[in-house]
Amino acid sequence: MNREAAKALLILIIRLVVAGIFVRAALPKIDAPSAFASAVQGFQIVSVSFSVWVAIILPWTELVAGIGLLVPAIRRGSGLILSVLLISFIALHASAWARGLDISCGCFGTESVTTSRYPWFITRNALLLAATILVVIRDFKAATKPENVPPCS
């Protein structure tokens, strides 16, 4: 296996892992949006009614962008959206940690989290962000390669 093929295989594995994690995270939240809305309220950043909007829209964004990472037609947009989401999650957890909140993460539904686990959640999201950025860079490079430019007539 040459170097380029190994790189492509690695990116494919990363793509599948990131997509799987986001789909896995989205499904319980789509199934129980009220519980997820409570988890969002726990961060004490948005109002109650806005938290319901977040609980409705965010899980579908995770699901569509997660699946989208595997669909060539929308994978760049999906990768960008997932990167923005991960940056927001890291900022939210850091903010909650700094304020000493002991809340449910809401990451995969309604599991409970103690403040002592914030470092792990931030690290996990940072690793996911790094992986997603790798995939996004690869997809943007592939989209701008000369062979993808339609020939001039």
Residues near another protein (CB under 8 A) are 30-31, 33-34, 37, 41, 48-50, 52-53, 55-57, 59-61, 63-65, 68, 73-78, 80-81, 100, 143
Determine the length of the chain. Answer: 153
Structural element, H or E, at residue 29? helix 3-31
Residue among 97 and 124 whose Cβ is closer to another protein: 97
Residue (of 82, 93, 97) closest to 25 by Cα position: 82
Residue among 63 and 128 whose Cβ is closer to another protein: 63
- For the bound state, the minimum distance from the C-beta of residue 130 to another protein, rounded and expressed in Å, comes to 21
Which two tokens mark 125?
A: 């999201």
- For the bound state, the minimum distance from the C-beta of residue 24 to another protein, rounded and expressed in Å, comes to 16
Residue (of 44, 139, 36) closest to 96 by Cα position: 44
Residue among 7 and 99 whose Cβ is closer to another protein: 99
Residue among 2 and 49 whose Cβ is closer to another protein: 49
- Helices assigned H by DSSP within 32-153: 33-42, 48-68, 75-98, 118-143
